[in-house]
Amino acid sequence: MKDVIALDIGGTSVKCGLYDESGVLKKKWRVSTNTNGGGKSIFKDIHASFQKEGIDVSALSGIGVGVPGPVKDGTVHGAVNLGWETVNVPEALKTELKSGVSVYVGNDANVAALGEFSKRGEKVDNMLLITLGTGVGGGIVLNGDIVEGAHGGAGEIGHMSMDPEGPLCSCGGHGCLETYSSATAVKRMANEGIKVNPDSSLANLSYIGGRDVFEHAHQGDALSEGIIEEVAEQLGRAIANVNTTLDLPLILIGGGLAQAGEYLLSKVRGSYQAACFGTSCQAEIKPASLGNDAGMVGAFELVMRRG
Ligand SMILES: [Zn+2]
């Protein structure tokens, strides 16, 4: 049996996994992401880690890669967090490795969706994964494969316009979903909220993290409860808008904020039901299960499904 390498390239580190073809993870390690000089040394650093870990590239059946940017047919068109402009990932990696090994690449959120999809017990062919972290990421799986879109940008649910007069988003737009339903948004709403609600228990904290807002909401703090309501209201409505179009049977919610579990998900389901249309109201909204490993598992699946 040959082995497969899975790489999840992020702005801080590259998660690397060595799998056998049956999906057993034999070892995993991390490489720091060096974004200096346009991220030119990233593949060199990955190669060096292969040598350190004793990876025999000629014995691999393929390498799967997730990258944080729009990917179309193996080429990433700008990955700001890596310092990359347009990079043909298979070509660049094979040149660095001096190998003809097969390389398959996808957008990291889409690849994570494929990872979660592959590990589900449900018999579904179509699914949406939404990750609630610093931003809001999304990936759509249709007929068992990632949807890239015409230009590699499919699944960017975080930048769906919820209110054109809403808060400024990192993308330059206003009122994108991620300005309401990300960890960044929760912190912003909390810091703005304590100015007008100085009696909130959040006002006693020197720093407010996303987890604090959930904890204080649990304890009955009205400001915190209102913030979680807003997160869930916007997220449920965004999912309903997507699903009125696609009628997917399953929506998974992952990322740091999703650790709030049923407390958040039950509110998201309520908001979804208030806004959904027709048969798509039957969709199930459930927690994702792979956590930080979703991207690596998905990169492994890219090799198995496309190889
Ligand atoms: Zn945006």
Task: Answer whether residue 301 shows pLDDT above 80.
Answer: yes
Distance CA(101)–CA(140), nearest Å, equals 27
pLDDT (tens digit per residue) in 78-96? 998 999 999 999 999 999 9
Average pLDDT score over the chain: 96
What is the model's pLDDT at position 149?
Answer: 96
In angstroms, what is the span from residue 159 Cα to ligand 1's centroid? 4
Asked if 14 contacts 117 with a C-beta cutoff of 8 angstroms, the reply is: no
What per-residue confidence (pLDDT) applies to 152? 95
Residue 36 is classified by DSSP as H
pLDDT at 212 over 80: yes
The mean pLDDT of 220-246, rounded to a whole number, is: 97
Task: State both tokens at 24.
Answer: 């057993």
pLDDT (tens digit, 9 = 90+) per residue, 94-153?
999 999 999 999 999 999 999 999 998 778 999 999 999 989 999 999 999 999 999 999
Ligand 1 centroid to Cα of residue 11, in Å, is 19
Of the candidates 255, 306, 293, which has an alpha carbon nearest to the alpha carbon of residue 17? 293
pLDDT digits (tens, 9 = 90+) for 243-275: 999 999 999 999 989 988 899 999 999 999 999
Phi-psi category of residue 170: left, alpha or beta, with phi > 0 → left and psi -120 to 50 → alpha: alpha
Please choose, from the candidates 1, 5, 2, 20, the residue with its C-alpha nearest in 3D space to the C-alpha of residue 90: 5
23/178 Cα distance (integer angstroms): 33
Query: 170 C-alpha to center of ligand 1: Å?
Result: 6
Centroid of chain to Cα 70 = 13
The CA-to-CA distance between both ends of the chain, in Å, stands at: 14
pLDDT at 201 over 90: yes
CATH code, residues 3-114+293-306 = 3.30.420.40
* Whole-angstrom Cα Rg for the chain: 20
Q: 295 pLDDT band (50/70/90 cuts)? A: very high
Give 15-42 pLDDT, tens digit per residue. Answer: 999 999 999 999 999 999 999 999 999 9
C-alpha span between 121 and 118 (Å, rounded): 9
Domain residue ranges in the chain: 3-114+293-306, 122-288
8 A C-beta contact, residue 105 and residue 89: yes
Distance 284 CA to ligand 1 centre (A): 26
Under DSSP, is residue 106 helix (H, G, I), strand (E, B) or coil? strand
d(CA 179, ligand 1 centre) in Å: 7
CATH 3.30.420.40 corresponds to the domain 122-288? yes
Per-residue model confidence (pLDDT) at position 122: 75
Output the CA 88–ligand 1 centroid distance in Å.
26
The C-alpha atoms of residue 100 and residue 175 are separated, in whole angstroms, by 45
Tell how far the Cα of 146 is from the centroid of ligand 1, in angstroms. Answer: 22
CA of 174 to the centre of ligand 1 (A): 7
Hey, do 3-114+293-306 and 122-288 end up sharing a CATH topology, with the first three levels equal?
yes
Q: Is the pLDDT of residue 61 over 90?
A: yes
Say what percent of the chain tops pLDDT 70.
100
